[in-house]
A = this chain, B = another copy of it.
Amino acid sequence: MEKLIKTIEEKLYSYVPNIDTLEKKVFDSMKYSLSAGGKRIRPILTAYFCELNGGTLEQSLPFGCALEMIHTYSLVHDDLPCMDNDDLRRGKPSNHIVFGEDTALLAGDALQSLAFEVLSDSKTRDLVGDTACIKAVNCLAKRIGAVGMVGGQVIDLEYENKSADVTILRTMDDKKTGALISAACELGCIAANADDKAINDAVRYAKALGLAFQVVDDILDITADEKELGKHTGSDKENNKSTYVSLYGVEECKKLVSQLTEEAIGCVYGESESAQKLRELALSLAQRNK
């Protein structure tokens, strides 16, 4: 896994060159957040699903990097004062604290564009073909747009100061976190030119994994060590936010995570190396402490 993360990060950084032109500041801002660490779960999922469907790691990399760019843009915009107003991200000052709100806003915008640039550049087209590239663009654009990731953020804002029931919470998380995790799994399949059945299985895996991921996040906001987690804890409670923990309690949530993890594992067939890794990944995400 560590070797895979290193390969992903090398490729990721290669898309943001060191420049010394008038736009230097926005490149620095983009690089700052892209290289701020993180679990790189999305490109890892893309790589595993690509291999599961007979593709290569190399074919998955541009798609995986595009997903990480989108994930990063969403964090940069999320931390802005007009959104969550978070000064700290992954244990480091947030992008707008270092570069200013205006540059952080623009760096987020440019990261979104860069993701689509990478999905469509000539090297990516040569690797996976034009049809796979255009399918990937469409899948990603839908998953992150107003009915996907951004839609989830809008629902989140709407329910900031009023209590949400489980149906609303699930709809919100399905979009806010689930949509991009789904895109990661789908883009792995698309890079390998997999059929619809494989894509459907990947989406089911992603939905269970994504929800488990969010429930674990809610648990960690209550139970984790702030230093280890790299961000403030207890913020959900402070903000009177409805979470799985506030609705079910920590113990029930742990059961839900186990159940969802089993569900995810059940969507991956065969004994190939990538199948095993996908099952292990679901387990390790359920047991994470940061």
Contacts and interface: CB of A to CB of B under 8 A. Distances in A.
Interface of A: 22-23, 25-27, 30, 73, 77, 80-83, 101-103, 105-110, 112-114, 116-117, 119-122, 125, 130-131, 133-135, 137-138, 140-142, 144-148, 150-151, 153-155, 157-158, 168, 171-172, 175
Nearest to A112: B112
Given A22-B171, A146-B30, A154-B23, A112 B114 contact: no
Copies in the complex: 2
Contact of A23 (B30, B110, B155): B155
A114 B133 contact: no
A25 B154 CA distance: 8
A114 B82 contact: no
Nearest to A96: B82
Contacts of A107: 146
Nearest to A81: B82
B154 A141 contact: no
10 contacts: A22-B172, A23-B151, A26-B154, A106-B153, A110-B145, A110-B146, A113-B146, A117-B138, A122-B138, A134-B137
